[in-house]
């Protein structure tokens, strides 16, 4: 006889993961920054991270959700850096 354990925990984590994805669907927020000011860029990145944490931070103990949350933060960080570099080249102030 084989006994499988841990399915309740897995089911709970998958339910939480589904809620995380649902809460992150759509607009997370808007940040403004000066593409020529590194402190402004870092502040925008911190603000985006805080917006994400506000939406789904309560699920950060879920390893599957934490992976998605960190990946999303990295994606937004890189997006801000890319927009800043692009704006510096075009001479404009971006909205991220």
Residue 36 to residue 92: CA distance in whole angstroms: 10
Predicted TM-score (pTM) of this structure:
0.77
Residue 65 to residue 76: CA distance in whole angstroms: 16
pLDDT tens by residue, the chain, 96 residues? 777 777 888 888 899 889 888 888 888 889 999 999 999 999 999 999 999 999 888 888 888 888 989 999 999 999 999 999 999 888 665 565
pLDDT for position 58:
85
For 60, residues 6+ apart whose C-beta sits below 8 A from its C-beta are 53, 66, 69
Q: Where are the domains of the chain?
A: 33-91
Residue 9 to residue 13: CA distance in whole angstroms: 6
CB 77 within 8 A of CB 96: no
pLDDT for position 38:
96
């Amino acid at each position: 006889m084989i006994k499988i354990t841990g399915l309740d925990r897995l089911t709970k984590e998958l339910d939480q993961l589904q809620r995380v994805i649902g809460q992150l669907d759509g607009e997370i927020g808007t940040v403004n920054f000066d593409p020529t000011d590194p402190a402004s860029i870092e502040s925008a990145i911190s603000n985006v991270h805080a917006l994400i944490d506000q939406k789904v931070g309560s699920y950060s103990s879920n390893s599957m959700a934490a992976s998605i949350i960190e990946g999303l933060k990295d994606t937004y960080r890189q997006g801000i850096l890319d927009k800043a570099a692009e704006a510096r080249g075009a001479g404009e102030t971006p909205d991220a």
